[in-house]
Amino acid sequence: MVKLEERKELTKDRPVEIAPLPRQAYIHLAQHTGKSATPCVKTADTVLTGQCIGLSEAAVSSAIHSSISGRVLSIRDYLHPILGYAKAVIIESDGQDTKEKLEPRSQKEIEKLGPEEIRKLVQKAGIVGLGGAAFPTHIKLNPPRPIDTLIINGAECEPYLTSDYRLMVEKTKEIILGIDLVLRCINAKYVYIAIEDNKPEAIKAFKGEVKNLKFKIQILKSFYPQGGEKQLIKNILDKEVPSGKLPFDIGVVVHNVATIYAIYEAVYKNKPLYERIVTVTGSCLENPKNLLVRIGTPIKDLINACGPLVKTPYKIVMGGPMMGIAQCSQDIPIIKATNGIILLSEEEARIYEEQVCIRCGACVRNCPIGLMPCIIDAASRKQDWKLAAAYGALDCIECGLCSYVCPANRWLVEAIKLAKQMQRK
C-alpha cells in the first residue's frame, strides 16, 4: 500500500448540503451489477419521487426509482458514465417533488421484522453497494454460507473524497441502527467498524455512540487502497480471500457505510434509494461541497451548485482519482455508484507519454493483490487473453497503483481492464 496526497481538506469540514433538484433527471436502468432493469413506466406517464420505474426478475439485479416528480419525456439510450450509452428514463421535473406516500415504520413494527422481511424491503428499495461495486445488497444479506464477521467499510481511502466521512459524522446513530438490521439478516458474531486515522471526527462520533460490546471500532492507518474488501479483511482479520473466491467464502461480509445508511432509510423511513451523498471537489471550483444529490442529476448541475469555476477543468472524473472514470461530457448523470465528482486542472491531470517497460518491478512490489501487472500488460497487448488469465487478471481490483508507481508511465490498469473484459466475453 502507498501513502497518497489526500486533498481531503477541500471538503472534509463541509457539512452535507442538499443539491438543487434537477430540471430533468436521466435515470439509467443499468446502474448496478447484474441484469439491467426493464422500465415499468412509459413516455408521458406522470411519476412521483420514489416511485419504482424499473424492475427485473433476474436473480442479480436491482429496482430503479424516480428521483423527482414529473413527466416521463422519453425512454432511450443516453450518455452513461461507465457504459458509454445505456437505456435511461428521462423525466422532466414538475418542481413539486411530490413523494410517493410511504409511511415511516414504528419501532414496534421494526422489531417484529424477520431476516427475510428485511431483505425484501432492501430489495424493493433498490439498494446496491454504494462504495463503488453497486452489487445488489439484498443478495449480500442472504449469504450462502455461515458468516462469522461483519466489516463496515468507512475507510474511504481515495484522495479528495469525503462523502462517507461526512455521513459517518452526521448520521452515526442511523448507521448503527443499520448495522443492527444487517446483523439480524446474517447473524455475525463479530462486527468491525473500520475507519482510517485521518477521520478523527468520525472515530469520535462512533466511540460516543457505540454501546454494543460486539462492535469494535478498528482504526486503520491511512494508506491506499486500504478500503478494498480484501485489504480490509487482511489488515483487520489477517485472513486472505483465495483467488476466485468472495469474502463470504471465508465467513466475512463487508458493507460500505453509505450502504448501511441506505438500509436504515429503507427499513425505518420506507425510503427507496433515489439520492446519495456526492463529494464535488477539485481546485477548479470556488466552493467544493458534499451534496445530497438526486440520482439522474447531470454533472453540470452539481458544478453550478459548487461554482463559480476558478479554472477551466481539464478532466472531470467520476469517483476518486485512482479508480474513477474520466467523463466525456458534463451532461452525464449521477448514478447510484457515484461517490464523487472531481474537477482537475491541466496541471493536476497531466498525461505522460508512455515509455518502454524497464522491468523495475515497482508494479509487482506495490500490487495489493500480489499480481505481476507488467506481465498481464504484456499479455494483453499481444491479445493473449489466456496468458493474462493465467497470471490472475480477473483478481485485479483496478486500484490503479501499478500505473501510479510506474516510472515508465505504462497504462497498466487500462491493459488489465481490457484483458478482464475479453475474458468475460
Q: Are residues 238 and 331 in the same domain?
A: yes
Q: Is 53 domain-assigned?
A: no
Q: What confidence score (pLDDT) does residue 150 get?
A: 98
Q: What confidence score (pLDDT) does residue 351 get?
A: 81
Q: Is 150 domain-assigned?
A: yes
Q: Are residues 133 and 235 in the same domain?
A: yes
Q: Are residues 225 and 369 in the same domain?
A: no
Q: Are residues 133 and 256 in the same domain?
A: yes
Query: Given the C-alpha cell 478498528, which residue does it identify?
Result: 218
Cα(144)–Cα(194) distance, integer angstroms: 24
Q: Are residues 340 and 366 in the same domain?
A: no
Q: Residue 12's domain spans which residues? A: 1-18+103-346
Amino acid at 167: L
Q: Is 199 domain-assigned?
A: yes
| Number of structural domains in the chain | 2
Q: Are residues 126 and 235 in the same domain?
A: yes
Q: Are residues 378 and 339 in the same domain?
A: no
Q: Which three cell numbers, joined as nine digits, stand for 194?
A: 473500520
Q: Are residues 255 and 198 in the same domain?
A: yes
Q: Which three cell numbers, joined as nine digits, stand for 28?
A: 439509467
Q: Are residues 118 and 13 in the same domain?
A: yes
Number of CB atoms found within 10 A of residue 212's CB: 12
Q: Low-confidence residues of the chain, pLDDT below 50?
A: none
pTM: 0.96
Q: Is 47 domain-assigned?
A: no
Q: What confidence score (pLDDT) does residue 349 get?
A: 87
Domain-ending residue, one of 346, 380, 396: 346
CATH number at residue 219: 3.40.50.11540
Among the listed residues 337, 385, 364, 333, the one whose alpha carbon sits nearest the alpha carbon of residue 131: 337
Q: Is 351 domain-assigned?
A: no
Q: Is 357 domain-assigned?
A: no
Domain-ending residue, one of 346, 372, 392: 346
Q: Which residues contact 310 (CB under 8 A, 6 or more apart)?
A: 283, 284, 285, 286
Among the listed residues 183, 147, 156, 157, the one whose alpha carbon sits nearest the alpha carbon of residue 258: 156
Q: Is 281 domain-assigned?
A: yes
Q: Is 172 domain-assigned?
A: yes
Q: Are residues 146 and 6 in the same domain?
A: yes
Domain-ending residue, one of 346, 378, 401: 346
Cα–Cα distance list, 236 to 364, 378, 388 (Å): 23, 34, 30
Q: What confidence score (pLDDT) does residue 423 get?
A: 86
Q: What confidence score (pLDDT) does residue 270 get?
A: 97
Q: Are residues 292 and 397 in the same domain?
A: no
The answer to whether 154 and 257 have CB atoms below 8 angstroms apart is yes
Q: What confidence score (pLDDT) does residue 307 get?
A: 86
Q: Are residues 412 and 342 in the same domain?
A: no
